[in-house]
Amino acid sequence: MSRPVKTTVAVILGCIVSTLLTGCDPGDGDDLPPPSGDSTLIYNALIIDGTGTTARRGAVRIARDSIVDVGDLSPIDGEQAIDARGLVLAPGFIDTHSHHDDEGALRNNPDALPLLTQGITTSVFGQDGGHHLPLADFLSDFDREPAAVNIASYVGHNTIRERVMGNDAKRPANPEEVEAMRSLLLSELQAGALGLSTGLEYEPGIYSRREEVLALAAATAAQGGRYISHVRSEDRFLWDAMDEIIDIGRQTGIPVQISHIKLAAKKLWNQAPELLEKLDAARAEGIDITADVYPYEYWASTMWVLLPDRDADNLEEIAFVLDQLTPASGIIFTRYEANPDYVNQSVAEIAKSRGTSEVQTFSDLLKESEAWSEANGGASAEMIMGRSMTETDIETFLRWEHSNVCSDGGFTGHPRGHGSFPRVLARYVRDRQTLSLETAVAAMTSRAANHMGFADRGRIAPGMKADLVLFDPESIQDHAGIRDGQVLSTGVDSVWVNGQRVLKDGESTQVFPGQVLRRSSQEGALPQEGGANAD
């Protein structure tokens, strides 16, 4: 059976787009859609294409792993036709800052349900300065045995610093050590990493000088990579930290992204407009600075991150932390190996049960966890959630036209790993009307793709990869809470990854078509998101 003219023309146009992005030849018959029985039409959908433009009714045709036509389409004989029932069809959501790979979690749970039930189709790892070394082996494992979602990774500064400096990493590096880091970085970038990530508030990055980070960022820039950073401080030294990342962008020309942008100190609350004014000034200067953000007032890390001097006996410092950064009632353990009964309890609750002051309890808990760690070969002993942000600032960051949504979450711990994207759509679109639906989707798709350098994902258009999510904007909802963080979200009906349906009626199809996205295959970048700053 011959193809309808309309479809063939659309495919050729789509392939022209693909030529620019991936080298497809529109004159090559192998690049046309397969016979109609191998294509799928999703019709009767409310299409939000990811660019921020107004939703429209229509249909999307996919063949192999790509979108080949969009518009007012009718099924072809023998083609699979799926009635979207008026639900929203959007590009698959891209999580630019994820820890769903921690401790082999995604490897052991390839159906990726906590991701798919949020609509996530691509997850970016290697964040906060840590990555799987050697990266080539980690990525090759997913080439051989894919998950249900796509993955990509950065190279972590802390990881290469520890490899080079070993147990002597709690100090500034000398020139020879910086050069050794640069050599290892270049080797890891060759595996296809998106760029360099830093976690400058964590061990051992906290001991690095600016010159060290700048040298590594410059080496990354020379390879066409990007820079993403958990900056040196999100609270008391925030402005100096912002100056550092801006200067890295200025001196290297590299695109720089602030991980999980936040104002995590009382004295900074409601200063989000001032911070964005600073970032906009940097952009006006020609610095490509962006940010990602998750929709919670709680962060997650270790207790130590609250003490830059790493001194558990400094009770005056601890008192400042509990007064100005996060209250004892807002510090909740997600893991505490020295006494697992403390999980889901706050420092305030533990202090009450112990009969000690909150300050002394914080100090004692730190020392007890450190003793456990030393007795167990240096293993990590604790993780906490800390309430330090305000919803007003979160909303301001979500509205910034150069921010995208992320989870910063994993399979365990903080509820953001199970609920970030639906929470934005439920709370900040439907309930509070902070964003339009189209703008929120753009912040999850084309904007995120652009910030990561993904040229062929993040929009619904011919030639783009068929990563798609079908959801009900009236019922989509996160359910994971601060003390019950591993509850799946609802409202996502179906998800397609590289043209294959991986979630149907909210259930895994046990199909695993995810791809490894390497920098070498991401030539160019998506256009700037048109209309995405409508709010």
**CATH numbers and ranges of domains, the chain:** 5-91+461-480+488-521 (2.30.40.10), 299-387 (no CATH)
Which run of H or of E encompasses 186?
A: helix 175-189
With beta carbons less than 8 A apart as the criterion, state whether 300 and 417 touch: no
Q: What is the DSSP letter of 527?
A: P
Measured distance CA(434)–CA(261) in Å, rounded: 17
What's residue 294's pLDDT? 98
- 331: β partners: 386
Measured distance CA(253)–CA(247) in Å, rounded: 10
Using DSSP's 3-state secondary structure scheme, residue 22 falls into helix
pLDDT in tens, 5-17: 333 334 433 443 3
Measured distance CA(257)–CA(228) in Å, rounded: 5
Which run of H or of E encompasses 332?
A: strand 331-336
pLDDT in tens, 10-67: 443 344 334 333 334 333 333 444 444 589 999 999 999 999 999 999 999 999 999 9
What's residue 246's pLDDT? 98
Helices and strands (H and E) in the chain: how many:
16, 21
Query: Secondary structure of the chain: what % helix, strand, coil (to 5)?
Result: 40, 20, 40
Using DSSP's 3-state secondary structure scheme, residue 198 falls into strand
Low-confidence spans in the chain with pLDDT less than 70 = 1-37, 520-535
Which amino acid, residue 163? R
What's residue 38's pLDDT? 86
Residue 74 in tokens = 């009718």
Measured distance CA(85)–CA(475) in Å, rounded: 14
Which run of H or of E encompasses 331?
A: strand 331-336
What's residue 23's pLDDT? 39
Which amino acid, residue 184? L
